[in-house]
Amino acid sequence: MEKRAILFDMDGVLFDSMPGHARCWEEVCQDVGLDLTASEAYFHEGRTAKGTIDLLARRCWGREATTEEVERIYAAKCKLFNSLPPAPKMPGAEAVLYEAKRAGLIITLVTGSGQQSLLERLNQAYPNCFVRERMVTSDDVQHGKPNPEPYLMGLQKSGVTAEEALVVENAPLGVQAAVAAGIFTIAVNTGPLPEKALFDAGASLVFPSMQALAEAFAEIVSKK
């Protein structure tokens, strides 16, 4: 089956933003008595903010968080994250996008993030790669990763079947979501987790970096 589209996760794939996100999650959660460390935050990557906060509230407070609490904690997290210097582009991401375009693949974004300035930021960093019609954000879905919904919607927006698509993900829950959607999933291990976490989640291939994926990309696409 020839591949026609490639679906990219954003944080930890296109931007080296996970260290900042993890640090901010740790700080705002500790402030409200939710026990989360930056290292644990990497395991929750891909969930919506509500998903993460509810899980921690059940664990630490013995109850779900209220809508007001979710909004307040997520607003504090976003404010803190936005006060940090902008996350750099992920080394190698530009080369992967270039190869994807050269192979004639449709390029789609599937992120659990809800940042308003996303498209602007993406266009600045990676001109002529992403369009609003082919972006799935936390605002578009009922269920975040690891639910397959974001990736199923990504397929729909790309106009392709699961067999015609590839996914690039860095987070175990993101890999689970893509695999549950039936898509061939390439993981890039750009964070501190063991490679095994990505294979266990169902990734077909795991690369240590986006640069390593870029080097192998032409061959992967020609074989698929």
Q: Which residues bind Mg ion (CB under 5 A)?
A: 9, 11-12, 170-171
Q: 58 or 196, CB closer to Mg ion?
A: 196
Q: Which residue pairs from 194-201 have beta carbons closer than 8 angstroms and sit at least 24 positions apart in sequence? A: 197/43, 197/172, 198/170, 198/172, 200/172, 201/172, 201/173, 201/175, 201/176
Of the pair 11, 16, the CB lying nearest Mg ion is at: 11
Closer by beta carbon to Mg ion, 113 or else 158: 113
Buried/exposed 15-50: b ≥16 CB within 10 Å, e otherwise: bbbbbbbbebbbebbeebebebebeebbebbbbbbb
State the minimum distance, in angstroms, from the CB of residue 162 to Mg ion.
Answer: 20
CB of 173 or CB of 220, closer to Mg ion: 173
In angstroms, give the least distance from the CB of 66 to Mg ion. 27
Cα gap 138→220, rounded to integer Å: 29
Q: How far is the CB of 184 from Mg ion (least distance, A)?
A: 17
Q: How far is the CB of 224 from Mg ion (least distance, A)?
A: 22
